Amino acid sequence: MSYEMALQRVGELRQLAGAGPTGTATDGTAAAKAGAFDAQLTQQQQALMLGGTGTDPAAAATVAAGGDGALAMSEYGIPIVTVEDQYRMLGLPMPSNGGAGGINTLARLNGTTGPAGVTPGSAGVGARMVALAQQELGVAESPSGSNEAPRIKEYRAATAGAENTPGPWCAYFVSYLAQQSGAPIGANGNGTGYVPTLEAWGKQENRFTAHGAGTPQPGDIVIFNWNGGGVPDHTGIVEKVDADGRIHTIEGNSSNKVQRRSYPAGTNDVQGYVRPG
């Protein structure tokens, strides 16, 4: 984020709160909004928003460390407040991610370009991937067994040169989630439609962990090996992991649709995980 963009973002936040350039409300309605807004900020955060440094050493340390309740700071020392936080603090309805053509509404509001829609200080890549995958649940081939549908074509578009080449699409789905979450996978971020290539890339980038060697995290890419021959043949992402180690996933091309699956901790179907982002 450039210095000018950072200043603009702070100014826009103040306008959303109904405050003038110096933090003074411009009318009664704006004053109410600003008051509600300030009530959800700590004293230290308010000082930061107005350009001060704050007086509470403990609060300052929390902010510097990016701790709970702290505003993330840009490289210029300007607070970073995401559009999501702006809507939350003002009590306004949150625009939905996704939409026609896979457009990320929050990405546009955050002022980012391209499909990633990433803002410093926003939720991690894994969380974004899970949220996006949940929105895709139920997307199915049309007709079933064709590896094709308008939405599936959009998944393929996240992999260079694959938009018009229908085929098994589990890896295309994962490539789409990663791209839309701001952490494209594959060589040069070009995505991939071939699971062995996905696994090889993960190993090359030191992102691969064998099943049983650690606890997977939400958003991790699951590498499956159904036949036990060592060559992976399916993929999806981790949605959550239970206390007993059971893994819950969201997978594309699972019985010809996007759907949830789960596997016990000791499953032999999972070969490993690739950590995105």
Q: For the chain, what is the mean pLDDT?
A: 74
Structural domain of 156: 125-274
Q: Does the structure show a pLDDT above 50 at 106?
A: no
In this structure, are 225 and 144 located in the same domain? yes
Residue 230 has a pLDDT of 84
**pLDDT surpasses 50 at 65:** no
User: Do 134 and 88 sit in the same domain of this protein?
Assistant: no
Amino acid identity at 81: V
Q: Would residue 267 count as lying in a domain?
A: yes
CATH number, position 253: 3.90.1720.10
Size (the chain), residues: 277
180 and 257 co-located in one domain: yes
β-pair type (234-241, 221-224): antiparallel
Domain count within the chain: 2
Distance CA 224, CA 214 (A): 16
Residue 32 and residue 149 in one domain: no
DSSP state of 268: S
Asked if residue 227 has pLDDT above 70, the reply is yes
SS3 state of residue 42: coil
Q: Is the pLDDT of residue 198 over 70?
A: yes
Please check whether residue 189 lies inside any domain of the structure.
yes
CA dihedral of residues 181, 187, 190, 192 (deg, nearest 10)? -90
Highest mean pLDDT among 15-24, 181-190, 222-231: 181-190
Is there a single domain that holds both residue 261 and residue 132?
yes
| Mean pLDDT for the stretch of residues 141-165 | 95
Q: Is 239 contained in some domain?
A: yes
Which residues make Cβ contacts (< 8 Å) with residue 61, sequence separation at least 6? none
- Mean of pLDDT values over 109-136: 64
Within this chain, do residues 137 and 262 fall inside the same structural domain, yes or no?
yes
